[in-house]
Amino acid sequence: MSSERKGSILQFATFQSSVDEGFWHGLCSLKLNKLKTDESPISITGFYTPCSNPHVSNHLNLLAESLPTEPSDELQTAATCGNRNKCSVPGTLYNTNTYEGYQSLDKKSLLKAEGKKIWDDIRSGKVEEDSSVLLRFLIISFADLKRFHFNYSVAFPALALDPPATLVDLKPASEWFTAEEVESVSACCNEWRMSCLTADVPFFLICISSNSHATIRPLKDFKACQHEDHKILFAFYDPYHGPSNPGWPLRNYLVFIYVRWNITKVPFLCYRENRGFADMGSSLVGEAIIEPSQGQDEMHVPQVIGWEVNGKKKVSRHIDLSTSMDPTRMVISAA
Amino acid sequence: MVLSQKLHEAFKGTVERITSPRTVSAFKEKGVLSVNEFVIAGDNLVSKCPTWSWESGDPNKRKSYLPSDKQFLITRNVPCMRRVASIQEEYEAAGGEILLDDEDNDGWLATHGKPKDTKGDEEENVPSIETLEISKKNTIQSIPSYFGTEEEDDIPDMEEIDESDNLVEEDPATLQPTYLVAHEPDDDNILRTRTYDVSITYDKYYQTPRVWLTGYDESRMLLDPELVLEDVSQDHARKTVTIEDHPHLSGKHASVHPCKHAAVMKKLIEPLIAGGLEPQVDKYLFLFLKFVATVIPTIEYDYTMDFDLGSSST
């Protein structure tokens, strides 16, 4: 990979989805009991967490609880504590009644509409209050309830900078920081990840004072800490594990930082963990350079990309759950 | 499911419904856990190994004897770099002496790596469902692949549609997966990137924790439970590890059957007591997971290796 080279185009590793069986079971009962033939889009929630192992990336997980819950479930309101292993990502599900409907969905427009939401939240400043809206996702599906077959496609909308950002430098955080800074940054990241209030907040600022003392501040404090004599790093939970590229969430983050705060030299930290604790050896620090785009006015929504492709470069995926969902089989196993 | 296994599940279900959960501690005497102790041990696991977390699971499947937000423990996306068969081959090629570092020397650690012909002496130590009088053969249903095979799939292929949509975006800032540009992955590369969701539930009947496995292939698609057995030590694959309904999650999952867990745990705790240590119940799950690692040696979930079960460590 050539991305470490000075001035090369900053390339982002794509986000990947992982849909568990419970999601499809939940979708079936939602469709049978509530949606019926209604094809309106549904707001759902995906979950992700920073990379936690040097060998594998983490994914956006879609689980049974990703779907809207029944009003009877009182636990949802009680859960005020963020789960460090399940950072919420807002998403939209388009489930069609027929396979033909699924095929004829205009994937480009749907992606563009989802990207527009991100763009609007960047411009309105909503991102500063709730940074998870930088990470939206989109899933379109056709659930064949007779055969228990599911066709689906997932997208992680990303606003594309034009021209693309370039990378000045990218190396492990442990090499970029001094030994004192490594210790202090690790300590405050672990604290951020252990705290109920911040554990599931994926974008944040790391401020390092001249005496190597690091503190973490939420995005909304940027204006305040900008005037302090601190080095500021724009940090995010990176689901990707590789040593040569940052993960997908940095894309919209850079657009936000550039559009909202007009910063063109962006020092960033890809925050990664090992066994649940900050790992400065696998976390990366780099600097992205953003060139102002030519002849585009402020109102223009950038190009949106992000449909996930599988190993064969196909967007649509298919899963057959008839063995676990077919009622006759379920009766047998429940007997 | 084999009839005898089904009958036993029905019996177990009835007993679970009519008996109250264990409240008196007996982990030192019997190797079992009360509900309360399970929660204490789970809290400790979550705090020491933060990749584990408590889940509330499906509200309809919630067990009233457990706190609603602490129904079971889960760690997701655990890598499994290689198949058990490959390490067993290596091990047998090396003379069949050491598979894992075996500090405890309890017998059960060493046995599962022994050459096949010495199986006879493992029966008493290795957890097995044979005591349930389940036929050794065919305990696992043959489950066809989850992924639609082409011939039974009457849905037209999406390939042309995708390409006509031109959705495979040409974007200079998107990193192309290396195996796409370099070469198609060979089998070996695919196998190396399986991942697992590992969960621990409380089994009220056996009064012990119980481990469940959900596998995903290299493209994050659900793995057929039958293929999950490739990541289980071969001496356990069709005996100790069975494929059953998860008590909190949807679908069939591979599970390490808990019928001998208490006996094994007791065996692990006894030498500690004999050595003058006071075993602490909040460390039960570390010891338990260490034991489970012998059943699923290539699934690299987190548990503290260098812990001391006794009170002297605190």
Residue A294 resides in a domain:
no
pLDDT tens profile A90-139: 999 999 999 999 999 999 999 999 999 999 999 999 999 999 999 999 99
Based on the fold, state whether residues A63 and A114 are members of the same structural domain: yes
Residues A135, A179: one domain?
Answer: no
pLDDT value for B104: 43
Residue A6 lies in a domain: no
B180 to A311: CB separation less than 8 angstroms, yes or no = yes
Question: For position A311, what pLDDT does the model report?
Answer: 66
- Rounded distance, CA B266 to CA B254, Å? 24
The answer to whether residue A3 sits within a structural domain is no
| B148:A149 CB<8 A | yes
Domain co-membership, A313 together with A262: no
- Ranges of residues in chain B whose predicted pLDDT is under 70: 1-2, 88, 90-169, 177-192, 305-314
Chains A, B: CB contacts within 8 A come to 174
The verdict on residue A103 lying in a domain is yes
Residues of chain A with C-beta less than 8 angstroms from the C-beta of B185: 311
Q: Tell me the CATH number at A59.
A: 3.40.140.70
For an interface test with A, give the residue of B155, B191, B301 to mutate (most A CBs within 10 A).
B155
Let me know whether A155 and A185 are in one domain.
Answer: no
Say if CB A202 and CB A237 are below 8 A apart.
yes
- In the prediction, which pLDDT does B16 show? 77
Query: Is A249 found in the same domain as A234?
Result: yes
Q: DSSP strand E in chain A: where? A: 8-9, 12-13, 17-19, 42-48, 60-62, 87-96, 137-144, 149-159, 166-172, 203-208, 214-217, 231-237, 265-271, 273-274, 277-278, 284-289, 304-307, 317-320
For residue A329, is it within any domain? yes
What phi and psi, each to the nearest 5 degrees, are found at residue B225?
Answer: -55, -30
Q: Answer whether A320 sits within 8 Å of B145, measured CB to CB.
A: yes
A88 and A113, same domain (yes or no): yes
**Predicted pLDDT of residue A309:** 85
CB-CB: which of B173, B252, B302 is closest to A275? B302
Domain that includes residue A222, residue range: 166-289
Measured CA to CA, the distance from residue B177 to residue B184 in angstroms comes to 11
Query: Which of B69, B222, B302 is facing A319, going by the closest CB pair?
Result: B222
pLDDT digits (tens, 9 = 90+) for A228-265: 778 999 999 999 999 999 999 999 999 999 999 999 99
First to last CA, chain B: 46
pLDDT at position B254 is 92
Which residues in chain A land under pLDDT 70?
1-6, 70-80, 295-298, 311-312, 327-335
- Under a CB-based contact definition with an 8 Å cutoff, are residues A14 and A308 in contact? yes
Closest alpha carbon within chain A to B74: A85
How near does any CA of chain A get to the CA of B15, in Å? Answer: 16
Distance of CA A115 to CAs A120, A198, B106, Å? 9, 25, 58
Note the pLDDT of residue A200.
Answer: 93
A174 shares its domain with A151: no
Is A321 among the domain residues? yes
Residues A156 and A23 in one domain: yes
Instruction: Give the position of tokens 């969902």.
Output: A325
Q: SS3 of B105, please? A: coil
Write out the two tokens for A15: 């986000």
The reply to whether A63 falls in a domain is yes
Q: Are residues A156 and A175 in the same domain?
A: no
Sign of CA dihedral B121, B127, B132, B138: negative
Query: What is the distance between the alpha carbons of residues B214 and A18, in angstroms, rounded to a whole number?
Result: 12
| d(C-alpha B309, C-alpha B103), whole Å | 14
**What is the Cα Rg of chain B in Å?**
22
Residues A128, A250, single domain; the answer is no
Q: Are residues A256 and A327 in the same domain?
A: no
Could you tell me if residue A5 is inside a domain? no
Q: Which amino acid is at A256?
A: F
Provide the residue type at A259 as one letter.
Answer: V
Contact residues on chain A for B144, CB-CB shorter than 8 A:
323
| Distance (Å) from the alpha carbon of B230 to chain A's nearest alpha carbon | 20
What pLDDT is stored for residue B7 in this prediction?
75
H-only helix segments in chain A: 21-30, 75-78, 99-104, 107-124, 126-129, 173-176, 179-194, 222-226, 249-261, 322-325, 327-334
DSSP H or E stretch at residue B254: strand B252-256
Q: Which of B109, B243, B254, B259 is catalytic?
A: B259
B259 catalytically annotated: yes
Instruction: Please state the φ and ψ torsions of residue A46, each to the nearest 5 degrees.
Output: -100, 165
Inter-chain CB proximity A315 and B168 less than 8 Å: yes
Domain holding A175: CATH number?
A: 3.40.140.100
**Tally of domains within chain A:** 2
Listing DSSP states for B191-204 in one string gives HTTEEEEEEEEEET
Chain B residues near residue A160 by CB distance under 8 angstroms: 171, 173
In this structure, are A235 and A269 located in the same domain?
yes
ipTM: 0.89
Residue type present at position B128: S
How far apart are alpha carbons A156 and A16 in whole angstroms?
Answer: 9
Which chain B residue is nearest to residue A321, measuring alpha carbons? B146
